[in-house]
Amino acid sequence: MLYTIKCPECRIEIPIESKYLINKEQITCPNCDYKLSNETLNNLKNIDKAISENSKNLDDFISIKIEGTIKGSSIAILK
């Protein structure tokens, strides 16, 4: 699963794959060095966990795009 985080400061998109998210302690914008809050990162990890757990039993490979906001950071989820 691929997440695209839009930096709330400079608005660039930061892609991060689900498999790397679990071990992330910090997400920092490569353009302006803005650091996402721990709360936002933990919320994103919880969303990823819920999606992963609930999609294990799906028979079909599906593509989903979900967009939303977590504490001031735009998040797009592509599965």
pLDDT digits (tens, 9 = 90+) for 3-13: 888 888 999 99
Say how many domains are in the chain.
1
- Give the Cα separation of 56 and 35 in Å (integer): 32
Domain assignment present for residue 62? The answer is no
Domain assignment present for residue 66? The answer is no
Percent of the chain, pLDDT > 90?
A: 23
Q: What pLDDT shows up at residue 40?
A: 87
Whether 70 has a pLDDT exceeding 70, the answer reads: no
> What letter does residue 42 receive in the DSSP assignment?
H
Domain assignment present for residue 67? The answer is no
Give the closest residue to 42 by CA, choosing from 59, 27, 31, 60: 27
Q: What pLDDT shows up at residue 79?
A: 47
Q: Domain containing 33: what range?
A: 1-45
Domain assignment present for residue 39? The answer is yes
pTM exceeds 0.85, yes or no: no
pLDDT (tens digit per residue) in 53-62 = 877 766 666 6
Domain assignment present for residue 64? The answer is no
Give the closest residue to 78 by CA, choosing from 24, 67, 61: 67
